[in-house]
Amino acid sequence: MQTHTSPGSPVSPLARFASIITVVTVTLLVPALGAPVLAQSAQAERVREAGVVLGEIMAAPDRSIPQSVLEKAEAIAVFPSTIKVGLIVGGQRGRGLISVREQDGEGWSPPAFLTLTGGSLGLQVGGQAVDIVLVIMNRRGLENLLQNQFEIGGEASATAGPVGRDASATTDIQLRAQILSYSRSRGLFAGINLRGTAIRQDLDGNELFYGERLPTRDIVIDGKATSPKSPEDVAEFHAMLRKYVPRRVTR
């Protein structure tokens, strides 16, 4: 004989346990299922922010990267909103991307994701967000960046880059540098010394954005990244590069 529980009857322990299990399962599964989507969105946002940073920096010719520098660039790396924090001994941590100029001198590779960490000595109080742009000037500098990890000042030489309409004030050290580095903080744009900063390839970011765990070289040199999760953001970033970085004339 089947028994029915009346509206006023107490809930059995078994029914209460089943209800708790259901709530816990839903609570755990919903965030887990949504996590990959949120992570993919974070990578797309990184691509968008990189384009915005580059556009805003180059929109003011008197305070931007000289065209004579950009036309020689092998690659461009952008780290939006890198966090600088510290008291006496400062440090910085950020996430960005790199795109490499293609052989035709005009096109650009799909972006590969990078992380940046480093420390600096000096009197620093509080924290601030800093946009960092790296202009990779030659093949040797690019090869260093394609490693799993490298330290600026160790494997690669880098120096603060010149700012303005032209590079007439470029020093010999800047001319010989593998990488020219720039930073923007609170509207102030200038060259920055990143000695001791470590740059690593972000395999997790690459996997989330392209669906494969690809190293930097596979993306920017070998062309193995064919299906970005947000192709429209990649297209906008490439459009920004083509707009502001002069085509390199090949001879």
pLDDT tens digits, one per residue of 12-55: 555 545 554 554 454 454 444 445 555 568 999 999 999 999 99
Find, among 74, 112, 147, 100, the residue nearest to 228 by Cα.
112
**pTM for this model (two decimals):** 0.76
User: Which CA distances in Å does 144 have to 97, 116, 121?
Assistant: 15, 14, 24
- Domain of 239 in residue numbering reads as 47-244
146 located within any domain? yes
Q: What's the mean per-residue pLDDT of the chain?
A: 77
pLDDT value of position 118:
76
1 located within any domain? no
> Which range among 65-79, 86-100, 143-157 has the greatest average pLDDT?
65-79
Q: How many domains does the chain have?
A: 1
234 located within any domain? yes
23 located within any domain? no
175 alpha carbon, distance to own chain's centre: 25
7 located within any domain? no
Backbone phi, psi, residue 172, to 5°:
-60, -35
Backbone phi, psi, residue 45, to 5°:
-65, -35
Over residues 168-186, the pLDDT tens digits come to 555 666 667 888 988 887 6
75 located within any domain? yes
Q: How far apart are CA 85 and CA 16, in angstroms?
A: 50
194 CB contacts (<8 Å, ≥6 apart)? 118, 132, 134, 152, 153, 158, 181
Q: How far apart are CA 204 and CA 240, in angstroms?
A: 25
Q: Which residue has the tokens 């102030």?
A: 188
| Residue % of the chain over a pLDDT of 90 | 37
217 located within any domain? yes
> Which range among 56-60, 63-67, 71-75, 82-86 has the greatest average pLDDT?
71-75
Tokens of 250: 């090949």
42 located within any domain? no
Over residues 144-167, the pLDDT tens digits come to 888 877 777 655 567 888 888 655
